[in-house]
Amino acid sequence: MAQVPQTFFDALAVRTWCGLALRALGRAREEIDAINVYPVADGDTGTNLYLTAESASAAVEAVFEAHDAHGSGKPALADAARAMAHGALIGARGNSGTILAQLLRGMAQVLAADGETTHTDGEGLRLALRRAADSARQAVAHPVEGTVLTVASAAADAAGGAEGDCGTVARAAYDGARAALAATPGQLAVLERAGVVDAGGRGLVAVLGALVETFTGEVPRAVPVTSGPEHARVAGDTDTTSPAGLAEILTDSPDECTDDPGTGGPAFEVIYLLEADDTAVARLRQRLDGLGDSLVVVGGDGLWNVHVHVDDAGAAVEAGVEAGRPYRIRITHFGLGDVHTTGAERPPREPAQRAVVAVVPGEGLAGLYAEAGATTVLARPGEPPASGELVEAVRRAHAREVVLLPNDADLRHTAAAAAEQARTEGIRVALIPTRSAVQGIAALAVHEPERRFDEDVVQMTSAAGATRYAEVTVAERQSWTMAGICQAGDILGLIEGDVAVIGSDVAVTAETVLDRMLSAGGELVTLVLGDEAPETVADHLEARVRESYLAVDTVVYRGGRQGAVLLIGVE
């Protein structure tokens, strides 16, 4: 279906742009990954940009769904723009994704400046693009020309000289970015040697192309990724369409690469979200700048996304702890085949035969699942993972066969989409529709990698299905439930997803829920305590089971910040 052009930049245009940008990055993802040589030739720039855009798009869709549910019509431009920026911030991946998040945040600061405005025109778009480029450059500790920052600045410069509506401004920005992208090999030696343009800049051109399509309905012409036949000849017969081929170029002549920023560096990439004030973040920047390179800190209003390449990953995380509260911590070892170690030094790691990938709601459970050998995806309250994040986890598991545990009924379709994508990449994926983390624990307990894949999946599915689940949580607002009307602050006991008990005390409500579950029988009770659970609730429930239910065992885990006060499983 043809895209209907948007006349002004309103909430619907934000939604359309996010969707088109996601589609454009999806088409270009593998191509961008293949030309990724700076700052590290790890072949993931396209994927990181796609995942960041997916998170931004999902956040905007959530705003529209909320307005539809309340019958309040289209959201304000400010609401959609802020959602876009926040989604990109919490979902930002890698150096390129973090910079894209700041670009979108800079635009949102202009678009949301007047919270009551329904739309803006070409002038507003010009200002937004300028703020985006400037704020992204400020977020990078040591800006380098020939990168996405150069492309963003060129786009803003070109837009600034354009007169007309949003379509005219968007097209000028795209043309300026496209020209700047073509010039990047002349600004970075590592790009010139590889005969390619900057991968992050290529991704931004795709995003700006989607902006043109949003306002004109026209898809801009294709963007070249190589810098000309003369550079291809420099590479000889080497394959310049794969990360391995590009790494070969970079490591072929070490004497020439010694001082180039793209050919050496720290061993780890560290990324985390951080809750901290501006003063603490300023100190954090200085600390991290002394620990490594490729430092990008984006965000504001108490929430930040921190990205840095370091040799001491622990020190980078500790610096975050000193500044505030870091979470969603991701540490990646550039390791095998990366330009820091040269791929020729070690053979490629063989994939494992089988792995388990699980979505978990808290840090405590993430540790428990990891100890059992699972690759985990942490789902924060109100921040469910997107399908791209699950696909990335499946890839990270590096196995021929993967069992996927979504551990949330609302994630079933997201997990199914991720499984389908992974299958197209040659990975055999089985999705077990677990609806709670306690069902996932039961499935993981019977997992045996030595069994045939189908048999293992059947046993894990059977164990999950035999586990009834419940949770105790706090009501956020007045609401109608199957157990009656609850008020904000009431303690709710949900069994199999439905409110069964409304109470005022956590221990009493949990006991009532547990009694109802055990009335149908059971052999093992699993309790997962959240951060907000009273210290005595586990002892109280263990005593209740011991005194009232013969031959029923109880196991207790600490789940951390998992949203619910308490998770209960009965097998």
State the CATH number of the domain containing residue 211: 1.25.40.340
Contacts of 156 (CB under 8 A, 6+ apart): 129, 130, 132, 133, 134, 173, 176
Same domain membership, residue 356 and residue 328: no
Residue 1 lies in a domain: no
Q: How far is CA 444 from each of CA 217, 359, 404, 518, 566, rounded to the nearest angstrom? A: 49, 12, 11, 22, 20
Helix (H, G, I), strand (E, B) or coil at 61: helix
Residue 257 lies in a domain: no
- pLDDT tens for the chain, 571 residues long, are 445 566 789 999 999 999 999 999 988 888 898 888 887 776 778 888 998 998 899 899 988 888 777 776 788 999 999 999 999 998 888 889 999 999 999 999 999 887 667 788 889 999 999 999 999 999 998 888 999 999 999 999 999 988 889 999 999 999 999 999 999 999 988 888 888 999 999 999 999 999 999 999 888 876 767 655 433 322 233 333 333 333 333 333 333 333 333 445 677 888 888 999 999 999 999 999 998 888 999 998 899 999 999 888 888 888 888 899 887 777 776 643 333 333 333 344 567 889 999 998 877 788 888 888 888 888 877 778 888 888 888 988 888 899 999 999 888 888 888 888 888 888 999 999 999 999 999 999 999 988 899 899 989 998 998 999 998 999 988 888 888 898 999 999 999 888 999 999 999 999 999 999 998 888 899 999 888 888 899 999 999 998 898 888 999 988 877 778 989 999 8
Spatial separation of the C-alpha atoms in residues 527 and 546, rounded to whole Å: 14
Same domain membership, residue 565 and residue 490: yes
Return the pLDDT at 1. 41
- Which own/partner pairs from 364-367 qualify as long-range (CB within 8 Å, at least 24 positions apart)? 364/528, 364/557, 364/558, 364/559, 364/560, 364/562, 365/437, 365/528, 365/557, 365/559, 365/560, 365/562, 366/560
Same domain membership, residue 527 and residue 456: no
Same domain membership, residue 144 and residue 191: yes
Return the pLDDT at 264. 53
**Strands 399-405 and 352-360: what pairing?**
parallel
Return the pLDDT at 514. 93
Residue 2 lies in a domain: no
Give the CATH number, domain containing residue 390.
Answer: 3.40.50.510
Spatial separation of the C-alpha atoms in residues 148 and 525, rounded to whole Å: 53
**pTM of the complete model:** 0.60
Return the pLDDT at 338. 36
Same domain membership, residue 233 and residue 285: no
Residue 199 lies in a domain: yes
Asked if 28 and 95 touch (Cβ cutoff 8 Å), the reply is no
Among candidates 433, 566, 467, which has minimal Cα distance to 507?
Answer: 566
**What's the CA angle centered on 265, arms 260 and 266, to 5 degrees?**
170
Same domain membership, residue 194 and residue 73: yes
First to last CA, the chain: 49
Spatial separation of the C-alpha atoms in residues 332 and 310, rounded to whole Å: 10
433 φ, ψ (degrees, to nearest 5): -75, 60
Contacts of 202 (CB under 8 A, 6+ apart): 28, 31, 32, 35, 181, 223, 225
Last residue of a domain, one of 465, 500, 535: 465
Same domain membership, residue 399 and residue 519: no
Residue 3 lies in a domain: no
Residue with tokens 């053979």: 347
Spatial separation of the C-alpha atoms in residues 63 and 86, rounded to whole Å: 12
Burial of 485 from C-beta contacts in 10 A (0-12 / 13-18 / 19+): exposed
Within 10 angstroms of residue 173's Cβ, the number of other Cβ atoms is 28
Q: Is the dihedral of CA 400, 406, 412, 413 positive or negative?
A: negative
Asked if 438 and 449 touch (Cβ cutoff 8 Å), the reply is no
Cis peptide before 261 (omega within 30 of 0): no
| Tally of domains in the chain | 4
Name 269's bridge partners: 309, 332
Give the CATH number, domain containing residue 313.
Answer: 3.30.70.980
Return the pLDDT at 351. 73
Residue 256 lies in a domain: no
Same domain membership, residue 366 and residue 290: no
Same domain membership, residue 501 and residue 377: no
Burial of 344 from C-beta contacts in 10 A (0-12 / 13-18 / 19+): exposed
Written as six digits, the tokens of 487 are 């008020």
Spatial separation of the C-alpha atoms in residues 289 and 261, rounded to whole Å: 15
Return the pLDDT at 115. 64
Contacts of 80 (CB under 8 A, 6+ apart): 10, 11, 14, 15, 60, 63, 64
Give the CATH number, domain containing residue 480.
Answer: 3.30.1180.10
Helix (H, G, I), strand (E, B) or coil at 163: coil
Residue 89 lies in a domain: yes
Spatial separation of the C-alpha atoms in residues 519 and 112, rounded to whole Å: 54
Among candidates 291, 307, 289, which has minimal Cα distance to 89?
Answer: 307
Instruction: Give the helix ranges, DSSP H, for 372-411.
Output: 387-397
In eight-state DSSP terms, residue 562 is -
Asked if 104 and 52 touch (Cβ cutoff 8 Å), the reply is no
Written as six digits, the tokens of 101 are 């998040």
Same domain membership, residue 53 and residue 13: yes
Written as six digits, the tokens of 495 are 């069994």
Within 10 angstroms of residue 145's Cβ, the number of other Cβ atoms is 13
Among candidates 468, 466, 351, which has minimal Cα distance to 401?
Answer: 351
Last residue of a domain, one of 418, 447, 465: 465
Domain interval for residue 54? 9-248
Same domain membership, residue 376 and residue 326: no
Q: What's the 3-state SS for 329-377?
A: EEEEECCCCCCCCCHHHCCCCCCEEEEEEEEECCHHHHHHHHHCCCEEE
Residue 13 lies in a domain: yes
Last residue of a domain, one of 341, 363, 381: 341
Same domain membership, residue 506 and residue 395: no
213 φ, ψ (degrees, to nearest 5): -65, -35
